Homo-oligomer: A and B are copies of this chain.
Amino acid sequence: MLRYLTSGESHGPSLTAILEGLPAGVRIDSAAIDHEMKRRQLGYGRGARMTSIETDRVVFLGGVRSGRTIGSPLTLEVKNKDASIDRLPKVTRPRPGHADLTGALKYGTHDIRDILERASARETAARVAVGAVAKLFLKEFGIEIFSHVVSMGGVEAHPEKLTWDQVRKRAEASVLRCADSAVEKKIIALVDKAKKAGDTVGGAVEVVALGVPVGLGSHVQYDRKLDARLAGALMSIQAIKAVEVGAGARVSGMLGSEMHDQIYHSPGKGFHRKTSRSGGFEGGMTTGEPVQIRIHMKPLSTLLRPLESVDIETKKPFRATVERSDVSAVPSAGVVAEAVAAFELAGAMIEKFGGDSVAETKRNWKGYLKQVEKF
């Protein structure tokens, strides 16, 4: 069973994660991990602060020896540049849309800093680190995960005619992580406009996984359905308010005759589909088709335009103002979503194939692929 816990506050000494259950022998490609950390920090719409600061780096304090995993749990540490948590002032003014008020009431604290330090999206650095390792594991099995922005501020991208390879490359080359360059320009204009207005912009991202074998997850119990696990995990990313698998919310407006991915078979391909409305899942299991999941991120809750709120000590209303703010973190959310999806898929691989070394897991996986082929 693959599992992880993250810890750390945004102005604490570091973010850490312990990741447990990975087989021995996964090559830890530091450059690949650094690259993921960097991808998380980029994206049009971030303030100067975010893009100018030094890139996060992952240090392994456990579980890695001579560049490979040894079966032990991994400790991943991302040091914070600004570890001022004990010197930072008390906060009594909750920001709407954040965990501030709710957390203060729950934990019984009158210093909102106790809450916001952990609720901050800074935590996603630890999750991206975990996901980067999960990606390295998945790569051993030819599984690849990427994401692209499919809409922002109501402007929708149309990458339908592109191949997956084109989508991935164009998204990686885009400052917005958007594969549709015409739409990218419109969104940039929209972001610039929002910035001037002191406002923030929401958006949607599609996460795609290619090479996933048929039969991960299971229909037999509600908590073993892999689409459900992915949905839960993706919804746990800060600011995500909707998750759609395949055709997603559009299914409620569809007819059965339009919806279902019909089944074909040919000697070379085996069983396959020509459409992908299911998002790669039937009965909570992967179909072997591309996994496609969309997430919707709300506009950032910290904005220059003041929102009304109430001081938790004085109970007096005030208008929440900030000096600076990102306009959007949607491109970055895609990178986080990849990481989160990578962890869930890696876990499902280990559940199905077992194994304590990559060689063993791979042998089991190959045996199954042959079984499916001969089916």
Contact = CB atoms under 8 A, between A and B. Distances in A.
A363 to B, nearest CB: 5
Interface residues of A, number: 156
A119 to B, nearest CB: 4
- What DSSP secondary structure best describes chain A's contact surface? mixed
Interface stretch (A35-43, A46-54, A291-299): A291-299
Contact of A256 (B70, B305, B310): B305
Contacts of A250: 296
Interface in A264-321: 264-265, 271, 273, 278-279, 282-288, 296-301, 303, 305, 307-310, 312, 315, 317
A35 to B, nearest CB: 23
B307 A260 contact: yes
Given A117-B70, A221-B5, A257-B305, A249 B375 contact: no
Residue from A17, A98, A218, A242 having most chain B Cβ neighbours under 10 A: A242
A16 B232 contact: no
A263 B308 contact: yes
A309 B262 contact: yes
Contact of A367 (B6, B24, B360): B360
A115 B271 CA distance: 17
Given A260-B301, A262-B308, A72 B220 contact: yes
A283 B117 contact: no
Residue from A74, A99, A222, A279 having most chain B Cβ neighbours under 10 A: A222
B251 A201 contact: no
A106 B5 CA distance: 25
A102 B282 contact: yes
A106 B16 contact: no
6 contacts: A71-B218, A102-B285, A102-B286, A257-B307, A265-B310, A351-B354
